[in-house]
Structure 1
């Protein structure tokens, strides 16, 4: 019998951790109360062209010299943004996951906001969210947590709203990836449309914190479809954890874009646009315990795997492997706030040993990107590809070293 080593390298952690109120922006929630406000008086501007009383809109108008820039982008982009509703087959036992009975939302908002399903009567699992059409062939990009995985038997309906057509069409889930939280749907063009509306994909690597961004989605379900919000790109490279009760895990996201553009339940899978109308992100999550903190998957992450999702139905990847066991520097050194990880075991014949790494090496960076702790190290390793060469910044015996290492592929007998 082959010896099986257990190395802690998964991105999806199989322990339930206490995490700060981050939640997906899918599924409908009860409509909150709000106070009505009188619109600003602008007698010199026609009523149908008045600016919304939002300081960010005025700032964007002032900086660009176009008072209707945001409205123009929203008007041009909205037809390609679709409302997605999903229903899974009725289970034999009551595993209802309706938009108002999702344990994920119960965790954050409590039972008082959610009606209970009829006791003893199985109900179909349901979900709702947003997506956007990326080509005239009918491919729609959205989040995996909105639509599930391929082969689950779910029924997916997409609502398209344009000047020529306002109705629902059936969609097929042709590809999904749980780790990246990305999915691709396929629809047929309605006869009423000459051509499907589409959104251009931008370059998220070129986006900069501080630039204006626009989110379009369906907060709180179809009633408020095509809601437009504006904000700025607050930061890049963010890492968050979200509990996934369906799989009894905590899901780790890395390299996310942070924005203060309002993202609400129902926005998941919708586009985050720059002021050129290009998609730079896919709205994914919102911090329920704070205002103005939402997260989006960079569009370049999706562009890298679109071909796999469309043609193969999944992302084909080798599992990156270094061949080390490690623990956080904070725990190893017993120093609060210490960053990095410390290698506690180097497996014989594996990439780390071949590179010259040793037990006790204090690893503080991968390719000069600082390592905050074990989760950050796991996230960075999972972004690597087998065969890729990286450089580890290592402290050993008072000396700082730059150690090149070629990433391997996880052996089948190791889990």
Structure 2
């Protein structure tokens, strides 16, 4: 029985008394720790005490090639090296040198990968390598590797350009009973801050508006918007670094282009150079400087959002101004910015800030220098600016609606243009077009509303004769009108 028990295979690391033990430190451990938990004794049983015999379950031994080590400490020595000398520690200098070398290698790899576009495969959203070597490469691919969020010379531009930007204040004589709540261009500009200062008699000068401008000639020539100085009896200009404002003289204006040139007495004023607006591309950075809502010399930054914009602004008198070829920008423009410069990153003026949409955010407009340079000398010398003919007939029109049709006693579904007013001595007046007429067509072509009719008139040549199809008192009549030039009348059609 004893021999049979001795022949029974036991799990490695587990033995009974009288058998060879796999634990080389068993004797020491049994002397120091008579009771323990673990693979070298039963729970609560001293080493060497034979456990009650049970049926032995044979367990397959572990592979002979694997060395079993019950416990170890991370970073410690193996049991055979306990009495050996500790390994030599690596010096700090060697560690630092290795770290520095790693930084240099990784940095070099990153730079090379960026330059050679190693990571532009499909996984990273790039274009996979073309399998067809005959395919044409993309011309001028966009590379943002070295782009910056915003130019770093904005402060320098402001430092150099700001002294040439001036504040323009206008004064007008108070008139009895006038509230001065003028809505002139307020929808877009808001530059004329009219206010009635009670207690002042008729003839006293009162502040009527404020805007911006800039010096473009060192002898005191200033460029601004015409609407900034509209209706002013006196113009004051404040130049940075000068204690008292200057009284400016108005030299020339262009209501059609909304430009004006002022002159103050003096020399050696700081100036801004007029740049080329046609060289600008959409997305180019621009800088606006002015006096928005009275905050003098405020700088705002944005990009050129678009060009060749057209907008129409109607003033309180009912006349309409049509702006063409405007620059659009998202640089913040507010009431008081009008007349101030819009600059490129070279500090050159590429436009005059003129209007802002009050129904949106970040939509402002500037008159480009391509328009300014064509008329600048005329404005300086106060000579008439040559204007392109604008075909018109001289009638104020509105669309026919059901109410108008009922009042005129015509069919309620009549389409056309109702004549609200005929300008004295205009082509319409001379052709016997009358107030309350309804124009349904021209030269045999029907036009359903005033916009269609005006567009058709503007395509005609000045001096050409047209036949208007008119409803008058319920009867159809033909009116022959010779197309005139709107520039001679300064009114809308």
TM-superposed deviation, 1:103: 2.8
Say whether residues 1:158 and 2:248 are aligned partners: no
**In 1, Cα distance between equivalents of 2:226 and 2:189:** 23
**In 2, Cα distance between equivalents of 1:128 and 1:285:** 14
Say whether residues 1:75 and 2:154 are aligned partners: no
Partner-residue secondary structure (3-state), 1:220: helix
**In 1, Cα distance between equivalents of 2:487 and 2:314:** 28
TM-superposed deviation, 1:94: 3.1
Q: 1:144-178 CA distances to partner (integer Å, 9 max, x unpaired)? A: 000126xx6x111111114xx45411110000011
Identify the residue that residue 224 of structure 2 maps to in structure 1. Answer: 142
Q: Which residue among 292, 300, 306 is the counterpart of 2:376?
A: 306
Q: CA RMSD in A?
A: 4.7
Identify the residue that residue 353 of structure 2 maps to in structure 1. Answer: 283
Relative to 1, partners in 2 of residues 1:188 and 1:70: Cα closer, same or farther, differing over 3 Å? Answer: same
Relative to 1, partners in 2 of residues 1:275 and 1:374: Cα closer, same or farther, differing over 3 Å? Answer: farther
Give the gaps of 5 or more residues in structure 2. 1-143, 398-414, 416-441, 463-482
TM-superposed deviation, 1:96: 4.5
Identify the residue that residue 94 of structure 1 maps to in structure 2. Answer: 177
Relative to 1, partners in 2 of residues 1:170 and 1:116: Cα closer, same or farther, differing over 3 Å? Answer: closer
**In 2, Cα distance between equivalents of 1:411 and 1:103:** 24
Relative to 1, partners in 2 of residues 1:360 and 1:304: Cα closer, same or farther, differing over 3 Å? Answer: farther
Say whether residues 1:225 and 2:307 are aligned partners: no
Identify the residue that residue 187 of structure 1 maps to in structure 2. Answer: 264
TM-superposed deviation, 1:204: 1.3
Relative to 1, partners in 2 of residues 1:322 and 1:301: Cα closer, same or farther, differing over 3 Å? Answer: same
Of structures 1 and 2, the one scoring higher in RCO (CA 8 A, sep 6+) is 1
Partner-residue secondary structure (3-state), 1:241: strand
TM-superposed deviation, 1:250: 2.8
**In 1, Cα distance between equivalents of 2:379 and 2:189:** 34
Relative to 1, partners in 2 of residues 1:170 and 1:213: Cα closer, same or farther, differing over 3 Å? Answer: same
Say whether residues 1:243 and 2:314 are aligned partners: yes
**In 1, Cα distance between equivalents of 2:328 and 2:457:** 21
CA contact (8 A) 1:132 1:199 kept: yes
Relative to 1, partners in 2 of residues 1:321 and 1:277: Cα closer, same or farther, differing over 3 Å? Answer: same
Say whether residues 1:267 and 2:337 are aligned partners: yes
Identify the residue that residue 338 of structure 1 maps to in structure 2. Answer: none
Structure with higher strand content: 1
**In 2, Cα distance between equivalents of 1:105 and 1:135:** 29
Relative to 1, partners in 2 of residues 1:375 and 1:310: Cα closer, same or farther, differing over 3 Å? Answer: farther
Q: Which residue among 309, 317, 323 is the counterpart of 1:253?
A: 323
**In 2, Cα distance between equivalents of 1:119 and 1:89:** 14
**In 2, Cα distance between equivalents of 1:254 and 1:309:** 19
Partner-residue secondary structure (3-state), 2:287: strand
**In 2, Cα distance between equivalents of 1:361 and 1:315:** 36
Partner-residue secondary structure (3-state), 2:265: coil
CA contact (8 A) 1:161 1:167 kept: no
CA contact (8 A) 2:178 2:196 kept: no
Partner-residue secondary structure (3-state), 2:239: strand
**In 1, Cα distance between equivalents of 2:337 and 2:265:** 23
Relative to 1, partners in 2 of residues 1:234 and 1:65: Cα closer, same or farther, differing over 3 Å? Answer: closer
Partner-residue secondary structure (3-state), 1:184: strand
Matched positions, count: 287
Q: Which residue among 167, 171, 183 is the counterpart of 1:103?
A: 183
CA contact (8 A) 1:78 1:226 kept: yes
Relative to 1, partners in 2 of residues 1:170 and 1:273: Cα closer, same or farther, differing over 3 Å? Answer: same
CA contact (8 A) 2:307 2:327 kept: yes
**In 2, Cα distance between equivalents of 1:264 and 1:412:** 30
Larger Rg computed on CA atoms: 2
CA contact (8 A) 1:215 1:261 kept: yes
CA contact (8 A) 1:80 1:198 kept: yes
Q: 1:190-237 CA distances to partner (integer Å, 9 max, x unpaired)? A: 6xxxx111111111122221111100000112xx11100000111111
**In 2, Cα distance between equivalents of 1:413 and 1:140:** 28
TM-score of the aligned structures, taking structure 2 as reference length: 0.49
TM-superposed deviation, 1:319: 2.8
Relative to 1, partners in 2 of residues 1:375 and 1:213: Cα closer, same or farther, differing over 3 Å? Answer: farther
